[in-house]
């Protein structure tokens, strides 16, 4: 029999995803902020673990529902795995305090530092930026981006010559500050989009990607959205808004008098945001482009699976 002291926790946040085939269940542990993905059979087994139902009965229910033959030892091992992940309630765990969230996570080349909880700030900002989530802004922004692309193509030589003049110490300092400011807007676009669709954003900070610093907004709550389109928009929002800022800067640079500080700042945004957007949307780097591809294909841990596949193919050769 399953131990009466163990059962599937009732305070977990669960989202059912998938249609037309086998469903998957995304499980969020609110105590640790960790996410788990269970297949339909796994979730059914976990849901049957109520602390009193024997494992033999669970096995029979699984066989009746899915027509799959299982052994009791498989159910027991799966229950042990759930318990190890902290998804089962246990007498030993009830008396322990909730684990503290780590403010520094990752490796030396991919460090994440949690700075503050932005939820109150995003709640205050959300009503003030509703226009950015309307079809009118989408049409306007697309028009601005297409116009900027036309300018970049037609006046590419002049733009390249102007960018070369930025290689001065004072210009590099202003460029670095501008990059930080635009990166902040980029991350707020992620957070506000997640908030717009009903998700929670509890962590904002910065990270070191191969040592250079970058801002970071934790929008993992988007994984709970059943609609894939909403998950994709949360991931794409930062890059899209930065491309929009690049387009605005391009139009500004074209319209204002050359040699002014407005023209100079516009040129800095053009040079930095344009290159950074291409870098950010590269799916081979674990930034927005990678997560867009992973969410679009609905394959979690895509990088690890891809390397595992390549490794297996090389070994077979």
Q: How far apart are CA 241 and CA 142, in angstroms?
A: 11
Q: Which residues pair with 25 in a beta bridge?
A: 16, 38
CA-CA distance, 67 to 64, in Å (whole number)?
Answer: 6
**Spatial distance between the Cα atoms of 16 and 280, rounded to a whole number of angstroms:** 30
**pLDDT tens for the 317 residues of the chain, in order:** 444 456 899 899 999 987 656 788 999 998 888 899 998 889 999 998 888 888 888 888 888 888 877 777 888 889 889 988 889 986 545 444 555 556 666 665 566 777 788 999 999 999 999 999 999 999 999 999 999 999 999 998 898 888 887 777 777 788 888 888 898 999 999 999 999 999 999 888 877 665 556 778 889 999 999 999 999 999 999 999 999 999 999 999 999 988 888 988 899 999 888 888 888 898 988 889 999 999 898 888 888 888 888 888 898 88
Burial of 229 (0-12, 13-18, 19+ CB in 10 A): exposed
């Amino acid at each position: 029999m399953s131990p009466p002291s163990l059962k599937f926790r009732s305070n977990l946040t669960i989202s059912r995803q998938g249609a037309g085939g086998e469903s998957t269940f995304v499980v969020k542990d609110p105590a640790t902020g960790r996410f788990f993905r269970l297949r339909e059979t796994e979730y059914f087994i976990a849901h049957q673990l109520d602390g009193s139902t024997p494992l033999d009965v669970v096995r029979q229910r699984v066989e009746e529902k899915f027509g799959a033959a299982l052994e009791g030892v498989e159910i027991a091992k799966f229950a042990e795995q759930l318990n190890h992940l902290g998804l089962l309630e246990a007498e030993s765990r009830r008396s322990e305090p909730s684990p503290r969230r780590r403010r520094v996570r990752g490796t030396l080349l991919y460090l994440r530092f949690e700075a503050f909880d932005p939820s109150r700030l995003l709640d205050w900002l959300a009503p003030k930026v509703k226009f950015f989530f309307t079809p009118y802004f989408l049409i306007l922004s697309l028009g601005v981006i297409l116009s900027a692309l036309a300018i970049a193509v037609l006046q590419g030589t002049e733009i390249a010559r102007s960018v070369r003049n930025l290689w001065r110490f004072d210009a590099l300092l202003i460029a670095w500050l501008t990059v930080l400011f635009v990166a902040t807007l980029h991350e707020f676009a992620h957070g506000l989009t997640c908030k717009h669709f009903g998700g929670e954003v509890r962590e904002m900070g910065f990270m070191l990607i191969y040592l250079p610093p970058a801002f970071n907004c934790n929008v993992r709550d988007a994984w709970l959205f059943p609609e894939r389109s909403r998950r994709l928009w949360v991931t794409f929002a930062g890059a899209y808004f930065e491309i929009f800022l690049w387009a605005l800067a391009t139009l500004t640079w074209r319209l204002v008098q050359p040699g002014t500080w407005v023209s100079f700042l516009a040129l800095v945004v053009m040079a930095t945001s344009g290159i950074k957007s291409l870098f950010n949307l590269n799916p081979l780097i674990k930034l927005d482009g990678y997560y867009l591809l992973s969410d679009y294909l609905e394959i979690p841990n895509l990088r690890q699976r891809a390397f595992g596949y390549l490794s297996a193919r090389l070994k077979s050769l």
